[in-house]
Structure 1
Amino acid sequence: MSFPLILREPGPLLTLLLLGAAAFLEAFGDSCFQSAIYRSTGVARFLSAGLGVLALAVYGFTVNLPRWDFGRLLGVYVVFFFVFAQILAWFRFQQKPSLPVCAGGALIIAGGCVISFWRA
């Protein structure tokens, strides 16, 4: 018996949308825990942690429902995760990416392109 919501081999556009959504949810969930642990007190701490739990649970389903070769798509996923993590850091925590982060990010993006587009 299989899970009823499993997506069988999504097309390229749906794959990119799902990977992007999953990367955003993972980065957002992590940022919620960062906020709960270091930036919130009282009820806000529990709300931030609860939102983090919810976001990471939805991430888990989003990234695992399609039947895909996740190892092959990992390059694209890591690029999405890096970009969304930097955007969230900037807007949620006012942490602009430094030059070393930008340089490392360029290498992450280049690596994602190599993994995704190099055909052996």
Structure 2
Amino acid sequence: MLFLNRLVENPLGALGVLTMAALLEAWGDSFFQAGFYRSSGFTRVLMLLAGTAVLALYGSAVNVPRWDFGKLIGVYVALFFLAAQLLAKIRFGQSPTPPIYVGGALIVTGGLVMAFWKS
């Protein structure tokens, strides 16, 4: 944890930790998706347990940066959107549609504004 605390003192380091958290959340959610809809029996149990463990790691990682909560979650949402699209393609073969590209561009633009706007 000390390593992460030092890493997030730099804004780019904080973005790196938030990116890691976004990947963990999307990955954890994908385990639940696979557990609920793509497996059965013992495999279902393993998928749900894996999802629980990965989401616990996400919850810890997303709260490491000492940014104010509104900014933290605002920037995080943009990173989560990108991670979710990446995992949707890799794990489930789902490609974004035009509305996802347009909406996603708005989400990412908002995250960049929140991350880098100096007031």
Q: Same fold (TM over 0.5)?
A: yes
Q: CA deviation at 1:43?
A: 1.4
Report the CA distance shift for 1:65/1:113 in structure 2 as closer, same or farther (over 3 A).
Answer: closer
- Superposed CA RMSD: 1.9
Give the aligned partner of residue 115 of structure 2. 116
Q: CA deviation at 1:68?
A: 2.6
Show structure 1 runs of 5+ residues with no match.
none
Q: Distance in 2 between matches of 1:113 and 1:107?
A: 10
Higher mean displacement: 71-80 or 44-53:
71-80
Deviations 1:39-91 (A, max 9, x none): 11111111111110010001111112343323223332111100010011111
**Percent identity between the aligned chains?**
52
Give the aligned partner of residue 93 of structure 1. 92
1:75 correspondence with 2:74: yes
Give the aligned partner of residue 59 of structure 2. 60
Q: Distance in 2 between matches of 1:62 and 1:102?
A: 27
Query: In structure 2, the residue corresponding to 1:61 is in which secondary structure?
Result: helix
Q: TM-score, normalised by structure 1?
A: 0.86
- Asked if structure 2 preserves the Cα contact closer than 8 Å seen for 1:37 and 1:45, the reply is yes
Q: TM-score, normalised by structure 2?
A: 0.87
Give the aligned partner of residue 43 of structure 1. 42
Give the aligned partner of residue 5 of structure 2. 7
Deviations 1:84-109 (A, max 9, x none): 10011111111111111111101111
Aligned length: 117
Show structure 2 runs of 5+ residues with no match.
none
